[in-house]
Structure 1
Amino acid sequence: MRGMAFGLGIMMLGMAGAAQAQTNPNFVQCAVCHSVKAGQNKIGPHLAGIVGRKRASVAGYSYSAAMKGKPGVWTEKELDLYLTNPRKHVPGTKMAFAGIPDAAKRAKLIAYLKTVK
């Protein structure tokens, strides 16, 4: 019974991510691990209001020591640097995503994230 409940939970997470991805195609890869709804952390922290937010500041999310140790605020420039290669920009980050090498795609994603409050 527990296995069935776990499987159903995983399926529902996938459906929620798919729904978010449908609202903005630039968010497809992100929706697997992140929500755009405040207070709804997934594998990664929610991204509602990320532009202008202090790093490692989402309540209820367990950040890596590396992210906690990197001071500052998520600006468009910082997001661009991080999303290019997360592990290079913040060595030791928990984010397993390799990055978005295409500058135009990063710009579209960041433009979308600016609208998410």
Structure 2
Amino acid sequence: MKFSLVPTLLTPLLLSLPLQGCTPSGTDAATGARVFRQCASCHQVGANARAGFGPQLNGLFGRRAGSAPDFVYSEAMRRSGIVWDERTLAAFVRAPDKVVPETKMRFWGLGDENQIQALLAYLRSFQDADRPAAPR
């Protein structure tokens, strides 16, 4: 019987190498930036973010829903009582109308959990971004 020790000897070595820059598919901020393209027609993030068809999303985690001063929210959103965190935002992104019936947000939702987690990672990267520019 012939066999090779090479795979047996190399496997522990290969498993011990650091996987720098490798994250599970769909869970990193770079992937989230691509997912955010769907949101960018209504929402902005970053140093010069301001409200448009939707509120700016800087510093979103920990923010009470309907509270960004530069956007006029639906009554349903203002009264929702939601404070945005990983759980509430993931649920909202999955099914906005189910989480906040009568929301003004016109988005069918994301069904792919990897995309949702990637989007949350991307938005988390703007948690400490400059606040939005003053409304004009």
TM range (shorter): 0.7 to 0.9
Partners of 1:60 and 1:47 in 2: CA distance: 11
Query: What corresponds to 1:27 in structure 2?
Result: 36
Count of residues paired in the alignment: 95
Post-superposition offset of 1:86: 0.3
Q: Which residue of 96, 99, 105 maps to 2:106?
A: 96
1:39 Cα deviation from its structure 2 partner: 5.3
Q: In structure 2, give the amino acid aligned to 1:111.
A: A
User: Runs of 4 or more off by more than 4 Å in structure 1?
Assistant: none
- Separation (CA, whole Å) in 2 of partners of 1:29 and 1:39: 16
Amino acid at match of 1:84: R
- Identity rate, percent: 38
The residue identity in structure 1 corresponding to 2:70 is G
Deviation at 1:54, TM superposition (A): 1.3
Q: Distance in 1 between matches of 2:39 and 2:68?
A: 17
Residue identity in the other structure for 2:123: L
Q: Which has the higher helix share?
A: 1
* Residue 71 (structure 1) aligned with residue 59 (structure 2): no
CA RMSD, Structure 1 to Structure 2 (Å): 1.5
Residues 42-87 of structure 1 show CA distances to partners (whole Å, capped at 9, x for unaligned) of 1000001111111111012110010011113100100000000101
- Mapped to 1, the partners of 2:74 and 2:49 lie a distance apart of 19
Q: 1:82 aligns with which of 83, 89, 92?
A: 92
Which fold has the larger relative contact order, with Cα–Cα distance below 8 Å and residues 6 or more apart in sequence? 2
> For residues 30 and 53 of structure 1, do their structure 2 counterparts lie closer, same or farther at Cα, with a shift above 3 Å needed?
same
**C-alpha distance in structure 2 between counterparts of 1:63 and 1:69, whole Å:** 10
TM-score if structure 2 supplies the norm length?
0.66
1:42 aligns with 2:45: no
Structure showing greater radius of gyration is 2
Gaps of 5+ in 2: 1-31, 130-136
TM-score by length of 1: 0.76
